[in-house]
Structure 1
Amino acid sequence: MLSWPSYPALQWLAVVEHELLLFAAIWFALFALDELLVDLAWLWLRLLGHGRTLRMSGCGDAELGGVSAVLVPAWNESQVIGAMVTHALRSWPQRDLRIYVGCYRNDTATLEALTGTEPDPRLRVVVHDRDGPTTKADCLNRLYRAICEDERRARQPVRALILHDAEDMVHPAALSAMDQALDTVDFVQLPVRPEPQSTSRWVAGHYCDEFAEAHARDMVVGHHIGAALPSAGVGCAFSRRAIDRIIAHRASDEPFAAECLTEDYECGLLVNATGGRSAFLRMRAQDGTLVATREFFPASIAESVRQKARWVHGIAFQGWDRLGWNLRLCDLWMRLRDRRGPLVAVVICAAYLMLLLWPVLILAQQVGLAEPVPDGPLLRGLLVFNFASLLWRLVMRALFTAREYGLREGLLAVLRFPVGNIIAIMAARRALMAYVRVLLGGRLRWDHTVHRAHLAQVLPLALPLEEPRPLPAPS
C-alpha cells in the first residue's frame, strides 16, 4: 500500500470506495438478519397453522352490532369522492352504517361532486369551518365532532370508528368482518391491496410488491407475537372505548393529533399503550377474494416520493419524538423496523455510490493509476452472506406478489426492487428536510396526493369485485 503523502487522487477514491463497501456490507447484513427473523417467524406460524389466511363462512352482509361511523377526510378529491361514496353505500347495505365525509369550505369542487351522488340517509357531508388544506388529522377531528353531535341528538353512541380515504374501494364483506372482530378486540386492521396499473408497471407496481409482503407477512407476525399494531389509515376500525381511552391519554377532547402527519399510525399504537387489544384480520370471502381495501397508488416518481416522504416524516421522525420507545421486546423490534427507513436509505445510497465508483476504479487499476484495497476475510464473508440474503429476499418478494397478483407480477417484482430503493432514498431526503423545517418553526402541512381515478370507475360494481387471478389463493 502506498504511504500517506504519495496517495494519488484515484487511490484515495479506491479507499473511499472500500470504506463505503464495508459500511454498506455491515448494515445490509444487519438488515438481512432482521428480515430473516421475520421470515422464520412467519414460516413457523405457517407450520403451526396460525398464520394462514382465514375463510369467511357467511356472505358478509349481516347487520351490525351497533352504529359504525366511517370517517373519510377529503381535500381536492372531486375526481374520486363521488365514486367512493356511491360504491361504499352500495357494497354495505347495513342500516347502521354512517359515512362521514369531511370537506373544506374552500373546496367547492369536492362539495359539488358529493351533491351529485345518489341520496342516502346514511351519508353525512361535514364542511370544515377552516380553509384547507390543514392536516388530515385536523379534518378527522372535525368529523369526530360531527359524530359526537349525532350521538347527542340520537342518544345512541357509535360502536366503531372506521377510517377510509377518498380513493378507497371497499370490499363488501369488510364492514361485517370488522364489526365481528370488535366483539373481542379494540382495533382491527384489514389488508391494503394496491392495484396494478398498466400505465405505471414500475412505480405503481412496486406498491403491490411492498404491501403484498408487508400485509401477508409482517403484520401477520406482529399480530401473533402480540406487538402493538399500527393503523394503515384505511380499512381499519377502532372501538368507541378505544377512542375514549386515547382521548383520555392525550388529555384532549379530540382523538387525532392535528400536528401529526401519520395520526392513524399513532392511534393504532396507542390502542395497546392504553390497555386495548389489536388484531390484523387477513381473510378471504366465499368467492376467494381477499377482504381488503383496494386503491390506485401514485403512478409517478414525484407523487410516490411525496407520499412516502410523508410516511417517513410521520413514522420515523415524529414517531420517535411523540411515542418514544416501548421496551417490550416485540414492540421494540417492530418500532425499530418501522423507523429504520432513513437509515436504510443512507445505506442504500452508499451502496449505489460505491457501484458508481467501481467501474472508474477498475479502469484506473488496469492502467496503473490505483491499487486495489485488500478486502479481508470479514468483508468477503459479509459479501457472500449479503448476496445470498438478497437472492432469498427477491425470491420471497416474488412469491408474495405472485400469490396475490399472479406469476407475471411476481416476476416483475424482482425487477422492480431497485425502483423501490431509489424512491426510498429520495423520500428520506425530502422527509428529513421537512422535519428540519418544522423544527425551525415551519408550518406542518398536509402534503396531499392527488387522486385522478377510482377503481369503481374502472371495474364493474357488480360482484365479484376482482378479476380471476392466474394463481389460486392458498388456504
Structure 2
Amino acid sequence: MGFCLSVISGCSLSQSIARCKGRFPALGNSLGGNGLLVAQFTAGEWLALIQHELLLMAAVFFGIGLLDELAMDAAYIWLRLTGRTKTERLPGTDLRDEELMGMAAVFIPAWREDAVIGPTLTHALASWPQEDLRIYVGCYRNDPETQASIAVAARADRRVRMVIVGEDGPTSKAHCLNRLYLALQDDEARMRCKAHMVVLHDAEDMVDPAALVLLDRAVWLSDFVQLPVMALPPSDSRWIANHYSDEFAESHAKAMVVRDALGCAIPGAGVGSAIARPMLDRLARAHQGEPFARHSLTEDYELGQRVVALGGAGRFLRVRTQGGSLVATRAYFPSSLETSVRQKTRWVHGIALQGWDRLGWGGSLLNRWMTLRDRRGPLAALVLACAYFLVAASFISGLAVEFGLVAALEPSPLLRALLLFTLAGLFWRCAARAVFTAREYGAAEGLRAIPRVIVSNIIAIMSGRRALAAYFGTLRGAPVVWDKTEHSDHPAIALQRELPA
C-alpha cells in the first residue's frame, strides 16, 4: 500500500515500490525485474509516486481527525437532544442594577495599549456601576502613554487603581498579572476586606453589562468560570479578522459546551474569566507565591487546567439576554495576515508545545481527549501543508498525464474510500461552521465562513511552522517575552460612531 504503510508493516523499499507497480503501469517499465532500478524513474514518475504516498498519509490523518470531530459533533447533538446544553435566558431585569455578593476585582494587564485602554475602562465603568467593583490595571514604568490614558479614563473614580510594574516592559503577561495580585493583597490587608473573585480581561475588551453579576453568582458554585468570546467582524477585514468569528462561534457554542457537560477542564481564554479568590491563593501557594504562570505564553489556558489539577471545579457559562444577545466578551481581532500569524503562533506555542512540557497528560480519559484536541495544532499544520501541496501536485500531474508523460494515478480501494470519507467530512464540517457562524452573525457571514476555511488553514500552517521554530528557540535558552498584538481600534468607539448624532 505504499511507503506509509510499508514503514508500519516493516516492508523494504523495493517491496513498497513493487506494491505500486500495479497502479502505475508506466512505473513498471522503469522498475526492472526486481524493482530496484528506481534511478531510472522520470521526474513525472517520481512526482506521481510521491503524490500517492503523501495522499495516503494525508488521507489517513484527515480521517483520524474527522473521526475526532464526528465524536465531538455526536456528543454535542446528544447533549442537545437530551436538553443538557440548553442555553439559559436572563430575566427581563437589568443586571446592572443588581448588587454584587462581595468585592470583585478585575485584572487588566496593559503594555502599550494607550489607543484602547481608555475606551475599555470607560465602557466597563459605565456597564458595571456596582460600588464593590475594583479594576486593577497593570502598566509599566517605561510606558507613560498608557499611564496617561488610564489616568484620563479613570478620572476620580476610586474603583480604578493603576499599578505600575517596577520593571521596564514588556516582561510577560503573567508577570504583570502577578504584580496585580500583590497589589490586591495589599489593598485587602489595608481595607480588611477580601475580594471573593478575580475577573480577567484584556486591554482591548468590550465587556458585557450582564457579565459581572453572572460571574459573581456563578463563582460561588465553581472555582473557575469562563464566558464565551465573540470576535467582532470589522468592516475592513472580512477574510482575516472574520475567520476568528467563525472559529469562536463554533468552539464556544459546541466544543466548550461539550467539555463543560462532560466535566472536563475548562481552558481559560484570558478574557471573561473569573476565578474564586480562595482558589487564586491556593494557586499562589502551589507555585512560589505566583498564581499565574510567569514563563508560559498562554497563562490563561494553563489557569483553567491548573485549577482542575488542584481539585477545583471549572464551568463554561453560556447565557443569552431576553433579546437573544449572547452574554460574551467582545473584541476586535487581528485584521492583517502578519499579526494574525503572530498571535496564533503564540497560542500554538503555548498550548500545544509548552503545555505538553509544563502540564503533561494528567486527568481522566475524557480530559486527555480534550487535551489532545488542544495540542494537535503542529500536526494539523503539517497535514494541511501536505494537502495544499497535493492540490498543486495534482494540477502538475494532470498536465503530465494530458501530455502522455506519465500514467494516470489509479488509487487503491482503501485510498479511494478514505478520500470519499474525508470529502464527505469536509462538506459536513463546512456546513457546521456556516451554521454556527450564521447563528451569531447572520446568514451572509455564515456563507462567507465556508471559503474562510481556506484562510483559517493557511494561517494555521504558517503559525504552526513559526511555533515550532519559536519552541526550539526556547529550548536553546531564548527568553519568553510578551509578544502581544497591537490594537488601534475599540468596539466601544465603533459603536459610538454608528449611533445617530
With the shorter chain as reference, the TM-score category is over 0.9
1:231 matches 2:268:
yes
- Aligned equivalents of 1:80, 1:26: Cα separation in 2: 46
1:9 matches 2:43:
yes
Contact 1:59 1:286 in 2 (8 A): no
1:453 matches 2:478:
no
Aligned partner of 1:59 in structure 2 is 94
Aligned partner of 1:413 in structure 2 is 449
- Aligned equivalents of 2:39, 2:274: Cα separation in 1: 66
- Aligned equivalents of 1:23, 1:119: Cα separation in 2: 63
Aligned partner of 2:21 in structure 1 is none
**Among 315, 324, 335, the residue aligned to 1:279:** 315
- Give 2:376's aligned amino acid: R
1:294 matches 2:327:
no
Task: Sort the Cα spacing of 1:327 and 1:187 in 2 relative to 1 into closer, same or farther, 3 A.
Answer: closer
- Aligned equivalents of 1:425, 1:184: Cα separation in 2: 40
**Among 103, 126, 129, the residue aligned to 2:163:** 126
Aligned partner of 2:214 in structure 1 is 177
Higher RCO (Cα < 8 Å, 6 or more apart): 1
Aligned partner of 1:323 in structure 2 is 359
1:301-324 deviations in Å (ceiling 9; x for gaps): 000000000000100001000000
- Give 1:131's aligned amino acid: D
SS of alignment partner, residue 203 of structure 1: coil
- Aligned equivalents of 1:100, 1:395: Cα separation in 2: 42
Aligned partner of 1:313 in structure 2 is 349
- Aligned equivalents of 2:39, 2:486: Cα separation in 1: 56
- Aligned equivalents of 1:373, 1:391: Cα separation in 2: 24
1:28 matches 2:62:
yes
- Aligned equivalents of 2:383, 2:432: Cα separation in 1: 21
Aligned partner of 1:473 in structure 2 is none
Aligned partner of 1:425 in structure 2 is 461
1:79 matches 2:144:
no
**Among 111, 115, 123, the residue aligned to 2:151:** 115
User: Which ranges in structure 2 are unaligned for 5 or more consecutive residues?
Assistant: 1-26, 32-37
Contact 1:87 1:461 in 2 (8 A): no
Aligned partner of 1:372 in structure 2 is 408
**Among 178, 185, 200, the residue aligned to 1:163:** 200
- Aligned equivalents of 1:330, 1:291: Cα separation in 2: 28
Shift in Å at residue 288 of structure 1? Answer: 2.3
Task: Sort the Cα spacing of 1:248 and 1:115 in 2 relative to 1 into closer, same or farther, 3 A.
Answer: closer
1:85-136 deviations in Å (ceiling 9; x for gaps): 0100110011110000000000011011112123211000001100001110
SS of alignment partner, residue 324 of structure 2: coil
Moved more, 365-374 or 281-290: 365-374
**Among 158, 180, 185, the residue aligned to 1:148:** 185
Contact 2:123 2:206 in 1 (8 A): yes
User: Which ranges in structure 1 are unaligned for 5 or more consecutive residues?
Assistant: 466-475
- Aligned equivalents of 1:444, 1:282: Cα separation in 2: 33
Shift in Å at residue 329 of structure 1? Answer: 1.1
Aligned partner of 2:380 in structure 1 is 344
TM-score by length of 1: 0.96
Shift in Å at residue 461 of structure 1? Answer: 10
Aligned residues, how many? Answer: 463
- Aligned equivalents of 1:461, 1:298: Cα separation in 2: 20
Largest Rg, 1 or 2 = 2
SS of alignment partner, residue 458 of structure 1: helix
RMSD: 1.4
Contact 1:59 1:285 in 2 (8 A): no
- Aligned equivalents of 1:420, 1:389: Cα separation in 2: 17
SS of alignment partner, residue 254 of structure 1: coil
1:59-88 deviations in Å (ceiling 9; x for gaps): 222111111110000001000000000100
Contact 1:75 1:103 in 2 (8 A): yes
**Among 422, 428, 435, the residue aligned to 1:399:** 435
